[in-house]
Amino acid sequence: MVVLAVPYPAVDGVLAVVGDALAGKVLIDAGDDDQARQTVVELTRSIGFRPVDAGPLVMARALEGLALLNIMLQIRNNWPWQAGFKLVGPTP
């Protein structure tokens, strides 16, 4: 597995350099591959998190909205940048 953690404008350049080395690997950056998402779910569970698969890549739009809301609340209320949302739901 490879975690892609670069600014969006750098993605094409990074992939041009290392793209061949990524062949056959799960690239963690969101996606529509159910098997790859399940692999990421298993990885995050193995390190102590309770992952939730939010579905296909189109759902990123909703997650980006949550991120913007979180940023605006922190700015408006002078909260520390460590604040975040917690999904409260049924336990496994």
DSSP string over 16-45: HHHGGGGTTS-EES--S-HHHHHHHHHHHH
Domain limits of the chain?
Answer: 2-53, 56-92
C-alpha dihedral, 85 to 88 to 89 to 92, nearest 10° = 90
Q: What count of other Cβ atoms lies within 10 Å of the Cβ of residue 36?
A: 16
pLDDT at site 91: 66
Distance in angstroms (rounded) separating the CA atoms of residues 37 and 43: 10
In this prediction, residue 92 has a pLDDT band, given cuts at 50, 70 and 90, of low
Per-residue pLDDT tens over the stretch 2-56: 888 898 899 999 999 998 999 998 888 878 889 988 999 999 999 999 888 888 9
- Which DSSP helix (H) or strand (E) runs through 2? strand 2-3
Q: How far is CA 71 from CA 7, 57, 66, 74, 81, in A?
A: 18, 22, 9, 5, 8
